[in-house]
Amino acid sequence: MPDRIYNFSPGPATLPQEVLVQAAKDIVNYNAMGIGLIEMSHRSKEFIAITDEAESLIREIMNVPNNYKVLFLQGGASTQFAMVPMNLLGPGKTATYLNTGTWATNAIKEAKLFGNVVVAYSSENTKFDRVPAPGEYEVAAGSEYLYFVSNNTIYGTQFPTFPVTDHIMVCDMSSDIMSRPLDVSRFGIIFAGAQKNMGPAGCTVVIIREDLLDKAPANIPTMLKYKTHADKGSMFNTPPCFSIYAIGLVLKWLKKLGGLTVMERMNQEKADLLYKAIDSSLFYKGHAKPESRSLMNITYNLPTPELEAKFVKEATAIGLNGLKGHRSVGGIRASVYNAFPKEGVVKLVEFMQEFEAGNR
Ligand SMILES: *Cc1c(COP(=O)(O)O)cnc(C)c1O
């Protein structure tokens, strides 16, 4: 294995090296069967076992109650922006959304195609530098659900605690699923694209409370109805086989390390190192308000865009990759998901200090 760089990419993102090594073997010859993993029928008993294991690992690690289905879907997290309201809204029905960034904005746009949308909170005026404090918004009366994005990948903000409401909660957890313990029973739907914190691109995991499966109007397309996939164990059509398999490997790795409590501690340690480096300097300026800071995507600016470009270029040259901020905000973004090693964060902090000393 050649030396690996530190990959701060926001997604697809770094994966545990042991997962990559195992996957490389299995792609060529799965379990000494003489057939590659990605050549096998999704209806073979071997592949069904792979899917069952990935599902049971999700259930075990997240402590998913029995009255929830776990689905492996395609179309990215972005397809969920439409699937959620298609299945849960309808003419004359209302949903409440919290607008904390680009992904929430995109979801709001889709929801408006299917029903009434109340945007009860927006941090757009302050460049999405924060998430709401509890009580800073009200869920509209009669709402079918409250929708929010737990971690705002582009802006580097994260809900430190989840909203408390009697309404059904729908959450886009694409960039922080499995980064900390949570109580799944408080949610109606949790969904997440795999490519940030769970595996490679191609699969969206949806965790949905069973009673919501029957809410969908009859006239929506088969493939976009949650019940279609729930009734067939995510095998109504060909599922994203490789991605499901790789999610299984990542979750075995995660379980071996100690599960979500350990992930949260490790993520907190990594983020603390970076935020401390930012806060102890006048050269670097964090984008997110301290109370809203993400443990997954750490966003900051330098005094000028020119210095930011120089920073990215010099960091890349020493193997610190993927630090350029999203085009909509600029600056620097260090994405440090579960599988990102602490040594990479230490290296980045050292580089930040050297760069500041040389460019102040
Ligand atoms: C990346 C991301 C998305 C979009 O995911 P796709 O799988 O590319 O559609 C949606 N929501 C959040 C929070 C994300 O980070």
Beta carbons of 38 and 265 less than 8 angstroms apart:
no
Of the pLDDT bands very low, low, confident and very high (cuts 50, 70, 90), residue 133 is very high
Which three-class secondary structure state does DSSP give residue 256?
Answer: helix
Atom of ligand 1 nearest to the CA of 150: 13
Of the pLDDT bands very low, low, confident and very high (cuts 50, 70, 90), residue 143 is very high
Predicted TM-score (pTM) of the model is 0.98
Query: What number is the average pLDDT over the span 43-72?
Result: 98
Domains and CATH numbers, the chain: 18-257 (3.40.640.10), 259-359 (3.90.1150.10)
Give the mutation target among 110, 152, 175, 328 for probing the ligand 1 site: most ligand atoms within 8 A of CB: 175
| pLDDT score for 3 | 82
State yes or no: pLDDT of 2 exceeds 60: no
Average pLDDT value for the chain: 97
State yes or no: pLDDT of 1 exceeds 90: no
279 given a catalytic annotation: no
253 given a catalytic annotation: no
Of the pLDDT bands very low, low, confident and very high (cuts 50, 70, 90), residue 328 is confident
Which residue's CA is the nearest one to ligand 1's atom 5? 77
Of the pLDDT bands very low, low, confident and very high (cuts 50, 70, 90), residue 231 is very high
| pLDDT score for 327 | 87
Query: What number is the average pLDDT over the span 149-159?
Result: 98
Handedness of CA 155, 159, 165, 169 (dihedral sign): positive
State yes or no: pLDDT of 168 exceeds 90: yes
What gap in Å lies between CA 324 and CA 171, rounded to an integer?
27
Question: What would the pLDDT profile of 264-308 be if each residue is shown by its tens digit?
Answer: 999 999 999 999 999 999 999 999 999 999 999 999 999 999 999
